[in-house]
């Protein structure tokens, strides 16, 4: 097995991302968040945007999954080959990209995109998918690993408050490549269950690195528990 994949096997990868307009949307801040996650035992970091990736690459010697969210269209995770090349140039070891079957803005197929990343950058490709069929197709298209990242984020996939652990289990059982459990994993129990179901590694973002969401969860729970009056 590839050394990078071996290094994250059975471990947590922490996604360090802030959204446009948020107070933590700043490369130095994201780098510090990544360093804090590393101190807690993160086996790898997932981060977005060339600037954040460059900063994190310079500060940490951990496997780095990079992506670039761009565009409001359906395909927004590293939508074109040019985005993928930039992500690789910024220091990502693994380029994460949309692995659904939807049309890509540059007109390339997923297989053509994966091949281009392999040939021009030598990096591994993580295909972010939303369904079982997309996972199978992504592995056939040459993706080195498949993530359940987009489950619940396409109009035709299953959403819900928690992670799609059934999807994780089915893909892990059937795919010839490692499956990464990612998306709405909010508790340690869910993360452990993903590993039990065969996930190679677990990516956790919001529950570790997004204080606004975490605060909202507590505020809502306390509000619901508060007696009226």
Ligand X SMILES: CC(=O)N[C@H](C=O)[C@@H](O)[C@H](O)[C@H](O)COP(=O)(O)O
Which residues in this chain contact ligand X in the complex, by CB under 6 A? 15, 17, 67, 149-150, 153, 182-185, 203-207
What is the closest distance, in whole angstroms, from the C-beta atom of residue 140 to ligand X in the complex?
23
What is the closest distance, in whole angstroms, from the C-beta atom of residue 217 to ligand X in the complex?
12
What is the closest distance, in whole angstroms, from the C-beta atom of residue 48 to ligand X in the complex?
6
Vertex 113: Cα angle to 111 and 119 (nearest 5) = 100
Would you say 175 or 190 has its CB closer to ligand X? 190
Whole-angstrom distance, CA of residue 18 vs CA of residue 166: 28
Would you say 66 or 169 has its CB closer to ligand X? 66
Would you say 21 or 229 has its CB closer to ligand X? 21
Q: Which residues contact 163 (CB under 8 A, 6 or more apart)?
A: 148, 151, 181, 183, 184, 185, 190, 194
What is the closest distance, in whole angstroms, from the C-beta atom of residue 203 to ligand X in the complex?
6
What is the closest distance, in whole angstroms, from the C-beta atom of residue 229 to ligand X in the complex?
36
Best CA proximity match to 7, nearest among 57, 36, 34, 44: 44
Comparing every residue's Cβ against ligand X, the nearest one is 205
Would you say 55 or 184 has its CB closer to ligand X? 184
Q: Contact at 8 Å (CB) between 120 and 82? A: no
Helices and strands of the chain, counted as H and E runs = 10, 8
Would you say 29 or 206 has its CB closer to ligand X? 206
Structure tokens at 51: 């600037």
Considering Cα of 28, then 31, then 36, then 37, what sign does the dihedral take? positive
């Amino acid at each position: 097995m590839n050394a990078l994949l071996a290094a994250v096997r059975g471990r947590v990868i922490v996604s360090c991302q802030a959204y446009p307009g948020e107070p933590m949307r700043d490369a130095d801040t994201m780098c510090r968040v990544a360093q804090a996650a590393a101190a807690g035992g993160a086996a790898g970091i997932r981060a977005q945007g060339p600037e954040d990736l460059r900063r994190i690459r310079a500060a940490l010697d951990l496997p780095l999954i990079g992506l670039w969210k761009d565009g409001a269209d359906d395909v927004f995770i590293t939508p074109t080959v040019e985005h993928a090349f930039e992500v690789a140039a910024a220091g990502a070891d693994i380029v994460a990209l949309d692995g659904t079957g939807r049309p890509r803005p540059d007109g390339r197929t997923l297989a053509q995109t994966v091949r281009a990343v392999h040939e021009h950058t030598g990096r591994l490709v993580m295909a972010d998918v939303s369904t079982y069929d997309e996972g199978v197709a992504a592995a056939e298209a040459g993706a080195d690993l498949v993530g359940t990242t987009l489950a619940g984020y396409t109009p035709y996939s299953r959403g819900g408050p928690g992670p799609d652990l059934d999807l994780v289990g089915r893909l892990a059982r059937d795919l010839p490549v490692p499956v990464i459990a990612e998306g709405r994993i909010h508790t340690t129990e869910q993360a452990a269950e993903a590993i039990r179901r065969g996930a190679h590694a677990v990516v956790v973002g919001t529950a570790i690195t997004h204080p606004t969401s975490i605060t909202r969860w507590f505020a809502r729970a306390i509000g619901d528990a508060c007696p009226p009056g």
